[in-house]
Amino acid sequence: MHSRALLFSLRSLLLGLALLLPLGAQAPERFLDLPRGPGDGPRLVVFNPEVYNIRGLAAVRERGYLDVPGLTVVGVYHVRQRDSFEASRTFVKEKGLDWFRFHAVSGELSAANVFGKNPCTPDFEAIVQKADGAIFFGGPDIQPSLWHEKTHLLTVIEDPSRHLLELSAVFHFLGGAQDRKASPLLASRPRFPILGICLGFQTMNVGTGGTLVQDIWTQIYGKSFVEDVIALGPERWHNNPFKRLHPMEKLMSYNFHSLKLLGQGLFIRDLGFRAADHPRVLSSHHQALGRLGRGWVPIATSRDGKVVEAMEHAQFPHVLGVQFHPEHPQLWETEPRWRQRPEDPPTSYHALLEGTPPSLAFNQAIWKWLGQKIQEGRAR
């Protein structure tokens, strides 16, 4: 009788939840609520699973750079984000990407609870317990109020709910200066790999108590006009200034510039590159790291040393943040379709990397490193 009553109560609860949904609506998928079986393969969580990010992952998997047999990728997002991710679900279905799943988070987040235990804490715990790595992708500007700074006129806040989710995730995973007594979740899995890309890189810094420079050209270089930025030269461009002068031309919004690799950081220590190497990377951002958050060690900068381009974590050895874009699917395409200036002949991102060794190998190596660490962590 007791089990029948319990079953009846469970069915009643599910029916009640269904009645709360709009007609024809379905409850958001929560893949990480499912138990993980001993025969399940490795899992990679990616925040903000928009179509561009899924396409980039598909490209590095198809080319064998992210070579993880049996990998399931789980796209995590907050239900209050700007994107509903319906286009992503359609893309996954149409492309037959049976390795991709979704996990919707709905816990209430605010500036008051983002850097501490909150209603999303169980989701963050599930990620560390049930997945084998995570990626934070690129995106729009973080609201500066979250690091106690006024908002610059050139800062554009578009998706505050996304930032609250991802900043809180970083704080839960790594800990931060906001509460030094809080125990990071990675303390239980210290070799759990995390990759932060562009906005994800900046989120890692703010989430651990750091700050951002809200506009590179005005605040670092003191330039207020596009023509003066162009005069700085391409090694100091972090997006393409010609795009602003010639909006009707088919110019790429990104810029390629080279890196200065530092000390015995991951790129030199683990990936085999040298301090004398200056790989080119694809860049599109107007903000940069300010004060470093808790635990970070810079491992690459711009050639003039003014902008941190990559960092690793001092406590957790497989946590890497990069300010550039190794995930862009067009890095691997050879069709000449892009120009930086109106007078340039069309070229491809792939050709620009291939023509400046070891740039192509450097961008590929980041994905090979991540895949290796996912498999190593799963094997333990």
- Its sign, for the CA torsion 344, 342, 197, 144, is positive
- For residue 55, the one-letter residue type is R
Q: Which contacts qualify for 344-353: CB closer than 8 Å, 24 or more apart?
A: 349/252, 349/254, 349/256, 349/282, 352/256, 352/280, 353/256, 353/280
Which structure tokens are listed for 150? 């006024």
Residue 127 lies in a domain: yes
Query: How far is Cα 112 from Cα 284, in angstroms, rounded to an integer?
Result: 31
Q: How far is CA 199 from the centre of its chain?
A: 6
In order, the DSSP letters of 6-72 are HHHHHHHHHHHHHHHSPTT--PPPBGGGSPPPTT---EEEEES--HHHHHHHHHHHHTTSS--TT-E
- Its sign, for the CA torsion 266, 267, 273, 276, is negative
Number of domains in the chain: 1
Residue 133's pLDDT is: 98
Query: How far is Cα 310 from Cα 286, in angstroms, rounded to an integer?
Result: 16
Residue 86 lies in a domain: yes
Residue 38's pLDDT is: 83
Residue 176 lies in a domain: yes
Residue 11's pLDDT is: 41
Q: Which of 369, 361, 278, 366 is nearest to 322 (CA)?
A: 366
Q: How far is CA 60 from the centre of its chain?
A: 15
Query: How far is Cα 107 from Cα 80, in angstroms, rounded to an integer?
Result: 10
Residue 164's pLDDT is: 98
Residue 318 lies in a domain: yes
Query: How far is Cα 299 from Cα 273, in angstroms, rounded to an integer?
Result: 12
Residue 369 lies in a domain: yes
Mean pLDDT by 10 residues, the chain (380 residues): 42 41 61 91 97 98 97 98 97 98 98 98 98 98 98 98 98 97 96 98 98 98 98 97 94 97 96 98 98 98 98 98 98 96 96 97 98 85
Residue 232 lies in a domain: no
Residue 312 lies in a domain: yes
Say which DSSP state 143 is in: P
Residue 228 lies in a domain: no
Residue 28's pLDDT is: 77
375: region left, alpha or beta (phi > 0 left; psi from -120 to 50 alpha): alpha
Instruction: Output phi, psi for 309, to 5 deg.
Output: -110, -15
The residues that bridge with 76 in the sheet, in sequence order, are: 47, 103
Residue 380's pLDDT is: 59
Q: At what angle do helices 199-207 and 160-174 cross, to 10 degrees?
A: 60
CATH number of the CATH domain containing 110: 3.40.50.880
Give the structural domain span for 153. 25-214+261-271+285-335+361-379
